[in-house]
Chains A and B, each alone.
Chain A
């Protein structure tokens, strides 16, 4: 018996390590986000640089302080807080007061991640939790867009960025050099005024900082997929659903519903589908589940954009998809080897409840 105990080591699965660490993947996500980040700074000037740095620093500092305060080892070193911070920053409108950026960043890390137990336990994408909180708390500031490519963007900050904490942002100075613009989505929804596909794809439009240039986001996504660090099925399912549904409705009523290319490249769809919906923790694990998850998110985006009160719905669609993903996982468990397919689901649910 004693000999056996020495030679046979019993442990739970997984038994084969991929050799990849959390740090490795997260660092690569940051590299993949850099083109879109660089374009955001180019299009929105030093205001964007400041806002993105503050967002990232807030998230990293919050994670560090919470870990320390809770008596745990700080998990800042795994780069996940940097990814969250950068993604969160990219979803914000340029010219958002910095104190709101800090507030949302703290909520993203504390409420969206730390309260659930940290990385690996967060039910929702933390960056989107922060953004959703800001959207609910400050709806006016979150839907005021300073225009892209303003001539003096590298010399002056938008007047609203440096608003004192707890004060209403003042957009009057920004409005003087170039009226606070509407996003292509709002123009389409409220004025039936489409924007050219070329402008949309290359980001010469108003919008959140990181969402405008679809091509660069796609480039980062392709790089991650090529390095097998992202599940390509999620964005593919979202894009497919969105293209099919918008083509269908555009065919029925072209004046009211925009076509597939507009829907694909406008708003936060590209950023959300490539970098947010693919959150490894909050998305399902099975291959079939991932496709269902993508289809659900794509359909929700179309429903909210076409029939909802708001012009944009990517954030809520992804958060709802996150909420559904454990259930999708439970429904799409593969057949366990040696079990009949009928029995397995009941068996799985029993395990799942424990």
Chain B
């Protein structure tokens, strides 16, 4: 028995407010703690807060400009070669940021090493270009990039801060404890990156679970109040 009419699934277009477009990257769709994207820089360069901040800002910069350009050119990029085009655009801005960091501080450039060039293959940036900038207006793409960039920087700072405080007793190079503080060397080593990421993910998932548990109760309460009125 076939239904006479084909079933049409209605696509609901949810228009988000511009503030929400920015905020979603910071919290609800945080690129590191929720989407778990771009793990290579998250684990590799967060051994100190300054490295984490530089990497976060560099990624945010590339994300912003590549989202802008991709969004501008979205009607002109042929879909068959879109990935190659995105990568070309991203690589251009990575080269810019590479020279920029080199000009500002050679020391940080050295300590970040190959990871600056590797921003090209950061799946967060390609992901935003493909999933968002190539389908949305310039303004929304910019807001999205700002939010995602800020969320990524925030996450890297969370990682780098904890690892530097425990692993060296300092934050941004400023000593926090007395002279005979015993550093936890493991936190600066790669394994410390995994420990810290695991702990943060645990914390964020816990908070999210709490919120989700509260939400149905809240909605039920609102409905109750609505029916009373």
Contacts and interface: CB of A to CB of B under 8 A. Distances in A.
Contacts of A150: none
B99 interface: no
B180 A137 contact: no
Nearest to A134: B186
Interface string B171-214: 00000011011101111010100000000000000000000000
A185 B191 CA distance: 27
B182 A138 contact: yes
Interface in A122-167: 133, 136-139, 141, 166-167
B185 A167 contact: no
Contact of B185 (A97, A138, A166, A168): A138
A139 B189 CA distance: 12
In which size bucket is the chain A interface? Answer: 10 to 19
A189 B142 CA distance: 61
A328 B214 CA distance: 47
A166 B189 contact: no
Q: Which of A97, A167, A169, A170 has the most CB of B within 10 A?
A: A167
Interface in B81-136: none
A170 B185 CA distance: 18
B10 to A, nearest CB: 39
Contact of A137 (B178, B181, B186): B186
B186 A166 contact: no
Q: Could you say which of B181, B186, B191 has the most chain A C-beta atoms within 10 Å of its C-beta?
A: B186
Nearest to A133: B186
Contacts of A168: 180-182
Nearest to A103: B184
A139 B185 contact: yes
Interface in A94-134: 97, 133
B106 to A, nearest CB: 30
Contacts of B178: 167
A62 to B, nearest CB: 16
A141 B185 CA distance: 11
B216 to A, nearest CB: 21
Nearest to B189: A136
Nearest to A164: B180
Nearest to A97: B182
B189 A169 contact: no
B198 to A, nearest CB: 9
Given A167-B181, A169-B182, A170-B180, 9 more contacts: A136-B191, A137-B184, A137-B187, A141-B182, A166-B177, A167-B178, A167-B180, A168-B180, A168-B181
24 contacts: A133-B186, A136-B185, A136-B186, A136-B189, A136-B191, A137-B184, A137-B185, A137-B186, A137-B187, A138-B182, A138-B185, A139-B185, A141-B182, A166-B177, A166-B182, A167-B178, A167-B180, A167-B181, A167-B182, A168-B180, A168-B181, A168-B182, A169-B182, A170-B180
In the complex, the 4 A-B pairs of residues with the closest C-beta atoms, listed nearest first: A136-B186, A137-B186, A168-B180, A137-B184
